Amino acid sequence: MSNGGVRIIPLIASLVFCSNLLAQDAFDLVVVKPNPRFVVGSYGRAQPGGRYLWTGYTVEQLVIWAYGVWPFQVQGGPDWVRGAHWGIEAKVDGMRGTLDRDSVRPLLQKLLATRFGLRVRKEDRPGDVYELQIGPKGARIRAGDGQHWDPKLPAGYNPPPLPPPPPDYKGSVTPSRADRSGTGPGYYYLDGAPITNLVNYLSWLLEVPIADKTGLTGTYEGMLELGGDDNGTSIYKAIREQWGLQLAKHKGTNPHIVIEAVTKPAEN
């Protein structure tokens, strides 16, 4: 997600084939309509009364949301899976509050299967497995809530709006300031955010799943200077020298979701 040249990296959970936490395995009401992204942008949000809205989503984005994976972990499917955008309104009858993320995932998986004819399989593929660790000289990242820290971002920078909650977000519907982080040309910053935000940024940047092995808890703040290069070639040195962290890799397997079948839904 971007605003004014600054990208906000969403949190992504590990691969999930969910069992439902509710007493049912499907939404009671589902409305699906074509929804070009350029009209409204893409976002998802919970609403009172057991309603959930996805606006401007592609099938690939919905799969990412439902199964908790990164785009590079979704394979297969026709071109329209990544090019056609949809608006979905779904509802659980008899619910007065809002749906949490863990409850929505299996309902969305069922929705994709029934309305889009989606059939997927999980496939573990050999590759490099990465871990974020504390370096040999200890962590130098600063603990803080972001309330008393001036990130000294480039002139003319306007803070972007908070993104919609990610699939694994455990808090309120809208993340608080204590969950802020972002990146722009030549820098990445934490503004009172957990270390998992950095882990997810690195996964997005390097296009590999990364496990957090730092043991760091709480929230952190600070600027990571990338020397004008945020395409991954300088990130290893930057996190090691500036924040005392390191990326280690070894051979293993990484999970993927492979789309075996999918069809465009009938509009209602």
Q: pLDDT, tens digit, for every residue of 156-167?
A: 444 444 334 444
Model confidence, pTM: 0.71
> Given this model, what pLDDT does residue 8 score?
41
> Given this model, what pLDDT does residue 187 score?
82
Q: Average pLDDT for residues 163-190, to the nearest whole number? A: 56
- 237-240: Cβ within 8 A, 24+ apart: 239/132, 239/198, 239/202, 240/135
**pLDDT tens-digit profile of 218-240?**
899 888 888 655 555 578 889 99
* Confidence at 257, pLDDT banded by 50, 70, 90: very high
Residue 59 to residue 34: CA distance in whole angstroms: 11
**pLDDT tens-digit profile of 58-111?**
999 999 989 988 899 999 999 999 999 999 999 999 888 888 878 889 999 999
Residue 206 to residue 51: CA distance in whole angstroms: 35
* Confidence at 169, pLDDT banded by 50, 70, 90: very low
Residue 18 to residue 31: CA distance in whole angstroms: 22
> Given this model, what pLDDT does residue 231 score?
54
Straight-line distance from the first to the last Cα atom of the chain, in angstroms, rounded to the nearest whole number: 29
**pLDDT tens-digit profile of 4-20?**
444 444 445 445 444 44
* Confidence at 168, pLDDT banded by 50, 70, 90: very low
Q: Average pLDDT for residues 120-139, to the nearest whole number? A: 94
Q: What's the mean per-residue pLDDT of the chain?
A: 79
> Given this model, what pLDDT does residue 100 score?
82
**In this predicted model, which residue has the larger pLDDT, 47 or 138?**
138
Residue 56 to residue 84: CA distance in whole angstroms: 9
Q: In what order do the strands lie in the sheet with 43-47?
A: 29-34, 86-91, 51-57, 43-47
Q: Average pLDDT for residues 20-39, to the nearest whole number? A: 75
| Strands, E assignment, the chain | 2-3, 6-7, 29-34, 43-47, 51-57, 74-76, 86-91, 119-134, 142-143, 181-184, 187-193, 210-212, 220-225, 245-261
**In this predicted model, which residue has the larger pLDDT, 41 or 21?**
41
Is the pLDDT assigned to residue 188 strictly greater than 80?
yes
